[in-house]
Amino acid sequence: MTPPLPHRRTRARRGPADRCTDDELMVRCGRGHTAALVELMDRYTGAAHRYAWRIFRDHHQAEDVTQEFFVKLFRNAARYQPRGHFTTYFYRVLANLCFDHLRKRKRRRKVQAVQLDPIEAEGTELEALARPGDPDARIRAREAKDAVHGALGSLPLHVREALELREFEGLRYREIAEVMDVSLNEVKVLLHRGRKLLARALARTTVGKEIRGESHGGGGEA
C-alpha cells in the first residue's frame, strides 16, 4: 500500500525550497528533506494528475497514481543525477508508472467505459477545435475529445505513449527518445505508425466520419 504523502503547504509563506531549481529539490529529497518533496508536489502535481487522467480516464486512479509517483520520486531521489533535465526524468518515471498500471489493468479487463472529461483542455493536433458561434460547439468538442481518447486506447501501449508525450505534453522528439529510452529514429517510426493507426481508428467513429465528410466536401487541408 502506498504510504501517505506529506501535506502540501499553502503558498502564503516562502522558504528556502521555493527558491531551489527542480534539480536542487531532487538532491534535497535524496537527503531526506520532505520540504523539498512538498515543493516539487506544489510545482508538478497538476501536470502529473492531468497526464494520469488522460491515460486512465478515471479520477480515483489518477489520484492514486499521482501519489504513488511522488512516493517513487522521493524514494529514488538519492540515485537522481542532476543534469538540468528534471522534466525528462519526470515524464520517464510518470509514463513508466502509468503504462505499467495500464498493462496490468488490460490483463484484467479489455473494455472500459469512456467517461466524460471534467478537466478542460486546449485543443491539440489530435483534438478538433470548436467553431466560433457554433451552438453545439461544446458538445461537438467533447465528442471529438472522447473519440480521440477512445481511439488512443486501442493503440499498442508503446505507440500510445509516444503520441501522448508528443501531442499532449508537447515534448520534442529527442526528449521523447530520452523518456522512452529509444533512439530518435524509433521515436519517428512510433509517431508515424501511431498517427496512421489513430487516423484509421478515428475513421471508424461517428466523429471521424463527419470530419472526413467535411474535408472531402470543403476542400480543406489534408
What domains can be seen in the chain, in order of their start residue?
16-112 (1.10.1740.10), 133-217 (1.10.10.10)
3-state secondary structure of 6: coil
At 113 the pLDDT is 38
Quick one: 113 exposed, middle or buried, by C-beta within 10 A (0-12, 13-18, 19+)? exposed
At 102 the pLDDT is 86
- The rounded distance, in Å, linking the Cα atoms of 198 and 175 is 22
At 172 the pLDDT is 93
At 7 the pLDDT is 59
At 220 the pLDDT is 39
List the chain residues with pLDDT less than 70. 1-17, 106-141, 207-222
C-alpha cell at 195: 498517427
Amino acid at position 199, single letter: A
